[in-house]
Structure 1
Amino acid sequence: MGVSALAGCSDNSASDDGSGNDGSDDGGSGDDSGSDDGSSGPEVRETTMVSATNNGVPTNMHLNPIATQNYDDIVGAHVFERFVAYNFETQEFEMAGLEDWSVDGETFTLTIREDLNWENGEPVTARDLVTQFRLEKKTSGAIWDFAESVEEGDDEKTVVFQLAEETNPRLLRFAIGSQSDRIYAYHPVYEEFLDQEASAVQQFEWEDDVVANGSFSLESKSEQAWTLARNEEYYNADNVNFTELQVLQRADNTALQQGMRGGELDAMSSMFAPPNIANSMPDQVQEINTPAKWGYGIVFNHEHEHFGDQNVRQAIAHVLNRELIAQNAGPRTKAVPEVATAIAVDDQERWLGDQIDQYETYGPGTAQTDTAAELLRDAGYSKSDGVWEDGEGDSISAQFATPSGWTDWTTATDTVADQLNSFGIEVEIDSKPIGDFYGDYIEGNFGMGAFYWLPGGARSSFPFYPLRWEMLCPDIDGGHGFPTGEKTLPAIDGSGEMTISPLEEIKEITSMTSDEEATEVIRRVAWHHNQTLPFIPVTEKQEQTWISGQKFNTPESDAQVLGVKWASQWLPRVGEFTAAGN
C-alpha cells in the first residue's frame, strides 16, 4: 500500500449484502450515475479547477497504480475510472466503469460499460481488464483471495472469474469496489509485464504517454503541479463543463488549509482541519464528512515479553480514556467505538445485535485503573516506586512509535503516553518519518505503538475484512506477530468457556452466501478480538473533504451524492461540480 493512500491525517451498517440489493447474487443496481440519455451537458467553460496534495513533488511521482511507491493516487483517481462507487450515505454500490456485475455459482462476471473508452478513442475491453487482473495476481490483489482464474467472456466487454468455490457475493464486490480500485491497464502498455516477475511492473513508473479513461487526461507535470485536461472521450464528458484541472504540490497540511481558506483551492479530497480552522473557512467552502472506516489505534508486538501477555493488553485498554483522546485529537472528526473489536463504529450494532452488551467496552470514557491493576497483579506484576514490574524486576516500558507529521495522531499519542505513564507503564514517544515507521513495524522492531486498527474504505464495512486484517496485518507484513491458532476464551454469554480458531473461522465466511450464516461467525471472531486485543481501537476518523462554491456550482449539503468518496473526484464526473462562469 502506498504512503499516499495511508496518510489519512494528511489511506471506509450496510444494506442486506452491502451491494445495494436484497442479498441475491445477480448483480448491482445497474445505475451508472451519469447522463447517458443523449442529452448534451452544459457549455464547456475555459475554467481551471484547482486542488492540491502533499503526496510528493509531481516530477518524483507517477501514474502506475500497481506500483504503489510514489504513485499519486489523487491524480490517478481523475485519470482512471473506477469499477463502481460505494455510497456511504445510501450504503449501496453505483455503477461507474462497469455496466453490471453478477455472481452465479463459481463464476463472477463483470460487464464493462459499452461507452467506456481510452482517451485515444479505443474501447476499454476485456483484454485490458484480464491483463490488469493477471498482473494483480502477481501482487496478491484482493480478488485473488477468491478467484482461481480470469478470462475474456463471450464478447469484448465481458470478463469472467472462475472462483475457487461458491463465494459470498459481498466479498467479491468489495474486492474490486474500493475507491482506490481503478481500471488502468491499457493492454498495449502493460502486455510486456505479463511474462515477467511482479517486481517488473511494480518498478514501472508510468509518466509518459499515459492513456486515460477517466474524466481527465494527463497534460503535463512540473515540480509545482500536475496539469490535467478534460477528456473528451470520457463517457460522461458532457457533465464536465470546465477545461482543466490542476493539482498543486504543497509541503504540509497547514499550507493546504491556507489554500482552501484563502480561495486558492477549489477542492481537497482529504484534509484534516481542527475546529478553529474549519470554523474559519469562508461561507462558500463546504466540508463533507464520510466515514473513513479507519482511525487511530494501538498495535502490539505479540511476541514481546510484556505486550504478548493478554492481561497486559487488557490492562492498557482499561487505563485509556479513549473519549479524552478523541477530544484532544479532534472531536469533530473522531468517533470512539462502543465495543473494542475490529468492527467500525457505525457497523457494530448491526452485526453484534442484542449481544453487543456482552462485549467488553473497557470503559471508553473513564480510566479504569483499579481493574487494570487487578489484571496486572493476576499476571504476576507488582508496582514498585510507581512503576509496574514483572517478577524479575523488569518494568513494563516501551518506545511508542508514531508517524511524524500526522498532527492529530501526534496529539492522540501525547494523550496516550500521559495516561499510561500516570498509571505506571513507562512510555517514551518515538516519532519517526513514515518510511522508518513502517519499516520498524514490518521487522517487528517495536513493543507497541500507534497504527490504524481498520484497513479503511468501503471494504471495511463488512466485518470479514477488518477482523481478518487485524490478525494478518498485511500492511506491515504481519510484523505484529499475532497468533492465529486455537485459543480457549470465556464464553460470550459467561457460561463457561469456548474454543476458537479465529483465522480459520473467519475464512469460513468466504463460502457463506447470506448474512444470516455469516453473522454467527462474525460475532464469535469479534468476541475473540474483544478479549485478545490484536489492536486497541481508539478512534475512527470521519473524513474531511472540501469543495468551494466560489467558482463552481455545488450540491446542497444534504445531497446523497456527497456520500461517494472522494466527493471532489466524483462530483465533476456526475455533473454536480460545474463551473459557474462568474
Structure 2
Amino acid sequence: MQALGAAGVTAGLAGCGGQQATQRTTESEDGGGGADAATETATPIEVDSESLALIQELAYVTNQTLPVLPLQEKLAQSFQTTDDWNVPSKDSEKIQTYWPTDWLPRYGEWTATDASPDERMTLAQWAVPKDSQYNTWNAKNFAEPRRTLFDRFMNYNLESQEYSGYLVSEWELDGETLTLTVREGQTWHDGTPVTATDVVNQIKLDIYNGGSLRRFVAPDDEGNVAGRVTAPDESTAEISLATTVNEDILLAYLQPKYLVAHEETYGEFVTRLDEADSSDERSTILGELTSKVVSEPVGSGPFKFEDADTQRTLLSKYEDHPDAGNVNFDEIEYLYKPSNQSRWNSLINGETDGSATLFMPKNKLNQLPDSVQTSLIPRHWGLGLLFNHEREPVSDPRVRKAIAHAIDREAVAMNSGAGTNSKIAVTYPSGLTSELSGQVEGTWLDGVVDQFETYGRGESQTDKAAALLEEAGYEKQNETWRKDGEPLRIPIKGPAGFSDWVAGAQTAVSQLNQFGIKSESVMKDNSAYWGQDYVNGDFVVALQGWASYDNSHPYFHFKFLYDSSDAADYWNMPEQIDSPVLHDQLRDGEAVTPAELVTELSTAGE
C-alpha cells in the first residue's frame, strides 16, 4: 500500500483569508497580499498499486488526448460573520467540511454569542421561497433550506478527505455486503422514529431513479432492487453489491445523501416500485415521483419547516433532534437572493450571517466589514474548455493540443480568480485534482510525472502549437491560421452568469486570437446555455467543470470524463480512442476504451 498525502494548507490572504494555493504562487496571483502558504502534515490515505496504476493510465490518456482542457482548480469562498456569532477561525480544519452551513451549527461550532441580540441565523437561497420544494427527486427548486431541514448520511472533510459518521453512525464493508448502522435517537419532525427502513427507502428511490449506486447494486431481471437493499432490523440497513467495490468510492456515493424519504410522503412510491411488473409501469411511477411537489416537508434535521413567502423561508429549531443541545439560537431564515450581486450586498451590509459558498471578487471582498471572515474550501474541480468531439476542428486532437499550448493557464487562473487567490492553474492537464495540496505530483503521478505533458502551464508555447497545426494541415497566412483558405475558428460558449468563468474565457479568447486562431466568447443566459446549447451539443468549445466537483478520488473525475451521460450525449465522446500507453501491463495497444478502465478502477484493490 502507498500512503497518499491529502495535505492541508493554510495562510492569511489579503482581503479573504483561509486556505491558499501552495504551488508556484506569484506576487501577482496572491492579490497583492504577499502571503506565504504553510503546508501542514498530510493526513495519509492508502491506495493499492493496482488502483494507482489504473489512475495513472487514465490520467495519461487524458493528458495525451485532451478530451477536455483543464484550465484551473478552484477553492470555494465560504463566509461567516463574527460580530454576533462564535465560529471557528478561517484556518480551522472544522471549516473544511461539506458544507459549513450544514455542519457547524449541528456541532455547536457556529453559535450566537452571549451578548448577541440574535435568536435567528440569516442565510440566502436562490429560488423564490414560496416556489421552493423539498422532494429531492424533483430537481426543480430543491432549495438551500434543505441543508438544515434534512440530515446527511455522513460528514466529509474536504481537506483531510476523511469520512465520519452522522445519521449513518457506522458502516462496514465485508466483501459484497455493505452494512449501515442508523444513529440512535433520531426522529422525523412529526415525532416518528428514523429507522433503517427510511435509509433503505432513500437508497432504493435513488437507485430506481437512476442514481449512481445502481451500477453496483444490480437489480433482478425485472429491474427490482427490493431484495438487494434491506433492513434486517430497525437500526441496520444492508446493501448487497453485485461485485466487490472500492470502499472510498461507495462512501463518496452515500455520504452526500440527505435523508428525505419520510414514510408517509414517499413510502407508497417505494412499495409500488418494488412491486412493479414492467419497466413501463416503473417509468410511470417514477414520473409521478419526479413531478411530486413537496412544499411543506417533514424533515430529519435540527431545524423544521415553519413557512415560506415570496422573500424568505423560516425554520425553527427541532428540540428533539440529537444535536439540538448544540444549537443556542431558535430560528434560521433563508432570504431570497437570486444573484451573486445580491448576496455580496447582503454580506456587505450585514443582512446575512454567512454563506456556504459564494464567489466574491476582490473589489467586493474589500467592502466586507471586519466582522466577516472568508474561508477557502477545496472543491476538487475548476474551469475547463470542453470539446465537442463531433465538430471540426476540435475533433482533431492535434488542434486540441495546439489550443492547450497557445493558452497561458496562469493568466486564466489569475483573471478568473479576480484577485482572490481562489484559483490555481492546472500544471498537468490530466483529469487529476488536488493541485492545491501538491498531491498531483506527490501522489497520483508519483514515479511517472516526467511522462506527462504540461502544455506550458504559465506561458503560451506558440512554437509547439504552430508545429501541431502545421501537422494537421494548417498554415499561417496574414497572421491567421488557415486550411484550404478558411480561417481556423474556435468560438467558446458559456453561461453569462458565471462571472469567474466569463473572465477566464475572455482571457483564453484573447490569447488564441493573438496566436492567430479566430476565437470569440459567446456567453449565453444561464438557463439557455445549460438547457439548450450544452445539452444539445450545440457548441464547438464549451465552458464546463472538468471534474466531478467535491469528490477527491480520481475515479469520479474519470467517470465524468469517459463514462457519463454528459460525455456520451453532450460532448459526443467516442467510446474508443487512440492514446500512447503508460503502463504496458494494462493494455496491449494504443486503442483504448477509457470507460472500461474506469470500471476496473471501481473494483481495484478489493
Contact 2:390 2:572 in 1 (8 A): yes
2:310 match? 223
2:231 is aligned with 1:153:
yes
What does residue range 79-118 of structure 1 map to in structure 2 within 5 Å?
Answer: 79-118=149-188
Contact kept, 8 Å, 1:142 with 1:176, in 2: the verdict is no
SS in 2 for 1:154: strand
Tell me whether 1:64 sits opposite 2:152 in the alignment: no
Q: Deviations over 1:340-367 (max 9, x none)?
A: 0111124412111121232111111001
What residue is the counterpart of 2:387 in the other structure? Answer: 300
Specify the SS of the correspondent of 1:16: strand
Query: How far did 1:499 drift?
Result: 4.7
Q: Distance in 1 between matches of 2:577 and 2:394?
A: 19
- Superposition pairs for residues 380-395 of structure 1, below 5 Å? 380-390=473-483, 392-395=484-487
Query: What is the match of residue 205 of structure 1?
Result: 293
In structure 2, do the counterparts of structure 1 residues 477 and 182 end up closer, same or farther at CA, with 3 Å as the change threshold? farther
**Residue pairs, 1:129-278, within 5 angstroms:** 129-148=199-218, 149=225, 150-178=228-256, 181-194=257-270, 195=272, 196-197=282-283, 198-208=286-296, 210-278=297-365
Counterpart Cα distance in 2 of 1:227 and 1:33: 19
Alpha-carbon deviation of 1:487? 2.4
In structure 1, C-alpha distance between the alignment counterparts of 2:510 and 2:460, rounded to whole Å: 12
Once residues 507 and 113 of structure 2 are traced to their aligned partners in structure 1, the CA distance between those partners, rounded to angstroms, is 51
Matched position secondary structure for 1:217: strand
Give the match for residue 27 of structure 1: none
Letter of the 1:481 partner, please give it: N
Deviation at 1:60, TM superposition (A): 2.1
- Give the counterpart letter for 2:539 in structure 1: F
Superposed CA deviations along residues 277-316 of structure 1, whole A, max 9, x for unmatched, are 2233222211111101121110000111210100000000
Q: In structure 2, how many angstroms separate the alpha carbons of the residues matched to 1:212 and 1:17? A: 36
Moved over 4 A (4+): 32-36, 41-46, 490-493, 496-499
Give the drift of 1:170.
Answer: 1.2
2:469 aligned residue: 376
| Aligned residues of 2:106 and 2:324 also touching (Cα < 8 A) | no
CA shift digits 1:12-66 (9 cap, x unpaired)? x874259xxxxxxxxxxxxx99999xxxx9999860101113x221122211112
| Equivalent pairs, count | 475
| 1:52 matched residue in structure 2 | 124
Counterpart residue type for residue 353 of structure 1: D
Partner of 2:555: 464
Looking at structure 2, the residues matched to 107 and 491 of structure 1 have their Cα atoms a distance apart, in angstroms, of 34
Pairs within 5 Å for 1:329-344: 329-330=416-417, 331=419, 332-344=421-433
Q: What letter is aligned with 1:325?
A: V
Tell me the amino acid that sits aligned with residue 462 of structure 1: H
**Secondary structure of the structure 2 residue equivalent to 1:370:** helix
CA distance in 1, matches of 2:232, 2:251: 21
Distance 1:355 1:93 in 2: 29
User: Hey, what does 1:287 align to over in structure 2?
Assistant: 374
The Cα shift of 1:472 comes to 3.4
Change in Cα spacing, 1:14 to 1:173, as seen in structure 2 (3 Å) is: farther
For the structure 1 residues 413 and 473, does the alpha-carbon distance in structure 2 shift closer, same or farther, using more than 3 Å as the test? Answer: farther
Give the 3-state SS of the residue equivalent to 1:50 in structure 2. Answer: strand
Equivalent runs, 1:362-511 vs 2, <5 Å: 362-390=455-483, 392-438=484-530, 439-457=532-550, 459=551, 461-475=552-566, 478-485=569-576, 487-489=578-580, 491=582, 498-511=590-603
One-letter code of the match for 1:203? S
Question: What is the Cα deviation at residue 320 of structure 1?
Answer: 0.6
Percent identity of equivalent pairs: 30
Q: Which residue is equivalent to 2:197?
A: 127
The 1:387–1:222 alpha-carbon spacing in structure 2 relative to 1, beyond 3 Å, is same
CA contact (8 A) 2:298 2:304 kept: yes
Residue 513 of structure 1, CA deviation: 2.7
Q: What 5-or-longer segments of structure 1 have no aligned partner?
A: 1-12, 19-31, 515-582
1:354 and 2:354 are equivalent in the alignment? no
SS of match in other structure, 1:437: helix
Rounded to whole Å, the distance in 2 between the matches of 1:470 and 1:308 is 16
Per-residue deviation, residues 247-268 of structure 1 (Å, max 9, x unmatched): 1012321221111121111111
**Cα contact 1:15–1:91 (8 A) shared by 2:** no
Quickly say closer, same or farther: Cα 1:47–1:292, change in 2 above 3 A.
same
Q: Any residues of structure 2 matched to 1:511-530 within 5 Å, and which?
A: 511-513=603-605
CA gap 1:113/1:17 in 2 versus in 1, 3 angstroms: farther
Cα contact 1:491–1:497 (8 A) shared by 2: no
Deviations 1:462-518 (A, max 9, x none): 00110121123435763101113252425479xx9755332111211222236xxxx
In the other structure, the counterpart of 1:559 is: none
SS of equivalent to 1:109 = strand
Aligned CA distance change for structure 1 residues 477 and 61 (closer, same or farther; 3 Å): farther
What is the root-mean-square deviation of aligned Cα atoms in Å?
2.5
Matching of residues 4-43 of structure 1 within 5 Å: 15-17=44-46
Give the AA of the match of 2:322: Y
Partners in 2 of 1:165 and 1:157 — Cα distance?
Answer: 25
Contact 1:42–1:238 under 8 Å retained in 2: no
3-state DSSP class of the match of 2:445?
helix
1:477 and 1:159 map into 2 onto residues whose CA distance is: 34
Q: Distance in 1 between matches of 2:332 and 2:138?
A: 24
The letter for the 1-side match of 2:142 is: Y
Whole-Å separation in 2 of the counterparts to 1:280 and 1:45: 24
> Secondary structure at 2:522's aligned position in 1?
strand
Give the deviation of 1:223 after TM superposition. 0.9
Q: Which runs of 5+ in 2 are unaligned?
A: 1-41, 48-102, 219-224, 273-281
